Amino acid sequence: MTSSALTAALHRIDAVFGGMTAPAGGCLYCYGAEELALLAVPRAPLGDDLVRQFFHEVPDHFDDHPAVVRRLLPEFFAYVADGRFSGMGYGPAGLGRVRWQEWPAEQAEAIEAFLDVWWRETLADPAPVYGVGAVWELCVGIHRSLAPVHDVWAAAPRGGTEDRHLGGWVADRIDDLLQDDTCVMPWYADLDDVLFPELQAWLVEHAVPRLAGHPEPLLARKVALLALPPEERWVAYSELVASAG
């Protein structure tokens, strides 16, 4: 059931973007003319499958990609908030490729508000419908930044559900992080050279103290090794594992 805060964020999205249209032109190899024509009809329902496909489509498949994304937002965010999106994290999000932060203030602020509420509620939920990793990936890809997502994690009270999610997320990814494998990042964000080192540094600063009581006793110490250069990191890792016997 959608919370009152998320419902309010959806109403704001609908108030700002509802009724917008986009040119009906696009790739007729991938879509039928009747499907593209729906983009030019205000509030015409697209349905879950089509809105998902449009939202993740490459920009050159539409005559005006930013307009298509704006047209999709009320239906796509309602689809996501309702827990019906089975393909979370499987492909690039169109919203991450349109510089939406430069849109008019009321539009950018409505998007920011929805993402913020959705992420906070995901972290606070002991068993979020999509899983923290999938929501993290989509939010980071849309923001093209770690800060709006990780600032929420850093500000959460110690020892709560947010820390349990952080521990699970780190445990799943620590081997890749230690190997400097950028597969942990949204593969479509094109910012790995910036965001990946920032992620490692953030984990050293914020995750290490939060993981002190994790069931895996070496996890926090493994994360601390991310502060070392790779050649020193693996020597220290070998010594850590050997000492744990």
Q: pLDDT tens across 5-51, in order?
A: 999 999 999 999 999 999 999 999 999 999 999 999 999 999 999 99
How many residues make up the chain in this entry? 245
What Å distances lie between residue 169 and 95, 212, 228, CA to CA?
A: 24, 15, 21
Q: How far apart are CA 2 and CA 204, in angstroms?
A: 34
Q: pLDDT tens across 152-162, in order?
A: 999 999 999 99
Q: pLDDT tens across 163-197, in order?
A: 999 999 999 999 999 999 998 988 665 777 889 99
**Residues whose CB falls within 8 Å of the CB of residue 206, separated by 6 or more in sequence, listed in order:** 150, 153, 154
Q: pLDDT tens across 98-146, in order?
A: 999 999 999 999 999 999 999 999 999 999 999 899 999 999 999 999 9
Q: Is the pTM of this model over 0.85?
A: yes
Distance from CA of residue 123 to its chain's centroid? 12
Distance from CA of residue 61 to its chain's centroid? 23
What Å distances lie between residue 134 and 88, 140, 206, CA to CA?
A: 6, 10, 21
What Å distances lie between residue 5 and 10, 93, 94, 121, CA to CA?
A: 9, 23, 24, 9
